[in-house]
């Protein structure tokens, strides 16, 4: 459960035109029209590798059409002629708005059905990156626009072996930091009677630097009622003491400090006493069992070569929580895609906030993180999974119960 921006991307993957064109043909699409303006569509930047060209951020609209057959075509502004110089294809330039519309019409010649970063009724907002006006403009030129959701996942969210290795490395580092944080909490309460959320968070920030981990935000340390807020973060001005007999939730996410690395994201829960109260333990047992039900579904389907979709994983976890009588304490989906940003462009485990019907593809990584939230406490367990060709694996240890820190 990370609080980082969901749209951010990292170093782009290599543009695999033959594979993209084969996918377009298989889906009956004439092309994939990638569009961006001032970074509103980070997916387009990720697929094409557009970032800061020549030290200057691109400030004008550009289009990159990948047809199902033939050479790609580019439309760029005359004052930024090299915006797409690093990708193959022919280039047309525009300056005046009339030239832009004429150029776009020429770009779309022969295109009847094209994919863009669009989601009908914004059903998957993580894909809905192209503004409504641009979609209207493209449609006015005779093209049918369909969602690029499956293309995005195949060509932006699938990890290679090197990326998987960076994820596993990050996971190991995060778990070491988590162990050190629990030790520091126990020591502070034992030796001084208390510590604080912010003090532990700042220790963890230092350990991130020691481990050479990058992150988009400091980790979350939340106690009792603050743990009931899934996106709480302590600050120097707003931080709760950690004393004896407190529930403490740690949520931390990061990636190794190398280009092309991908995130890991974990959550663990501890209690600063010898005996965990029954109410806390029962809630945690429910989220643990919900997590395990979601993991079991993914693994069973992958091993049987049967598609599993994001909403199905969410339903499997939610069914456990609802059966235990905790339905009203659910506040978020079961999991999210991981990538070079903590919230990746792949499928989310979601039938709660959205209905994500995308398939989990081999090579994709994601979180499983059911949680329950009350006015005076909250519990969550968060693990990471990677789908392989014949199996799906959890990339770190599974928390079986609340860690007693007394």
Q: How far apart are CA 214 and CA 218, in angstroms?
A: 10
pLDDT at 156: 87
Class of 161-404 per CATH? alpha beta
Q: What is the pLDDT of residues 393-403, one digit of tens each?
A: 999 999 999 99
pTM for this structure?
A: 0.90
Q: How far apart are CA 218 and CA 4, in angstroms?
A: 10
All residue ranges of the chain with pLDDT < 50 are 4-12, 52-55
Q: Which residue has the tokens 């304490």?
A: 329
**Is 161-404 in the same CATH topology as 17-157?**
no
pLDDT at 51: 55
Task: Domain ranges for the chain, please list them.
Answer: 17-157, 161-404
pLDDT at 211: 98
Q: What is the pLDDT of residues 54-87, one digit of tens each?
A: 445 678 999 999 999 999 999 999 999 998 999 9
C-alpha distances in Å from residue 385, one per residue of 167, 291, 330, 399: 10, 11, 21, 14
Strands 62-67 and 31-36: antiparallel
pLDDT at 5: 41
Q: How far apart are CA 199 and CA 121, in angstroms?
A: 44
Cβ contact 110:91 at 8 Å:
no
pLDDT at 11: 39
Cβ contact 258:167 at 8 Å:
no
pLDDT at 12: 43
> Which CATH architecture fits 17-157?
3-Layer(aba) Sandwich (3.40)
In this structure, what DSSP letter does residue 297 have? H
């Amino acid at each position: 459960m990370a609080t980082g921006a969901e749209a951010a991307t990292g170093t782009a993957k290599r543009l695999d035109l033959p594979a993209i064109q084969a996918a377009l043909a298989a889906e009956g699409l004439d092309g994939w029209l990638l569009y961006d303006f001032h970074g509103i569509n980070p997916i387009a930047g990720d697929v094409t590798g557009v970032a800061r060209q020549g030290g200057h951020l691109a400030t004008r609209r550009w289009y990159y059409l990948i047809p199902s057959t033939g050479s790609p075509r580019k439309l760029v502004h005359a004052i930024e002629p090299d915006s797409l110089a690093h990708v193959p294809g022919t280039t047309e330039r525009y300056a005046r708005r009339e030239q832009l519309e004429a150029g776009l019409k020429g770009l779309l010649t022969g295109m009847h059905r094209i994919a863009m970063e669009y989601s009908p009724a914004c059903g998957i907002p993580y894909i809905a990156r192209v503004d409504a006006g641009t979609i209207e403009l493209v449609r006015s030129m005779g093209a049918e626009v369909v969602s690029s959701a499956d293309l995005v996942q195949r060509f932006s969210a699938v990890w290679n072996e090197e990326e998987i290795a960076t994820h596993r490395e990050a996971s190991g580092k995060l778990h070491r930091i988590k162990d050190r944080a629990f030790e520091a909490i126990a020591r502070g309460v034992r030796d001084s009677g208390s510590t604080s959320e912010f003090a532990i968070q700042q220790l963890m920030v230092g350990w991130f630097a020691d481990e050479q981990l990058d992150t988009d935000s400091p980790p979350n340390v939340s106690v009792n009622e603050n743990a009931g807020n899934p996106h709480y973060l302590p600050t120097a001005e707003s931080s709760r003491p950690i004393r004896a007999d407190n529930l403490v939730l740690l949520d931390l996410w990061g990636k190794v400090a190398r280009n092309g690395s991908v995130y890991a994201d974990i959550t663990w829960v501890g209690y600063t006493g010898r005996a965990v109260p029954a109410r806390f333990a029962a809630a945690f047992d429910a989220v643990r069992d919900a997590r395990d039900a979601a993991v079991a579904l993914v693994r069973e389907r992958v091993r049987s070569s049967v598609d599993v979709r994001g909403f199905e994983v969410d339903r499997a976890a939610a069914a456990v929580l609802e059966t235990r009588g905790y339905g009203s304490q659910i506040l978020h989906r079961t999991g999210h895609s991981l990538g070079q940003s903590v919230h990746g462009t792949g499928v989310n485990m979601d039938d709660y906030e959205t209905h994500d019907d995308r398939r989990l593809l081999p090579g994709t990584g994601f979180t499983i993180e059911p949680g329950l939230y009350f006015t005076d406490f909250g519990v969550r367990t968060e693990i990471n999974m990677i789908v392989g060709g014949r199996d799906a694996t959890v990339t770190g240890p599974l928390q079986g119960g609340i860690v007693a820190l007394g």
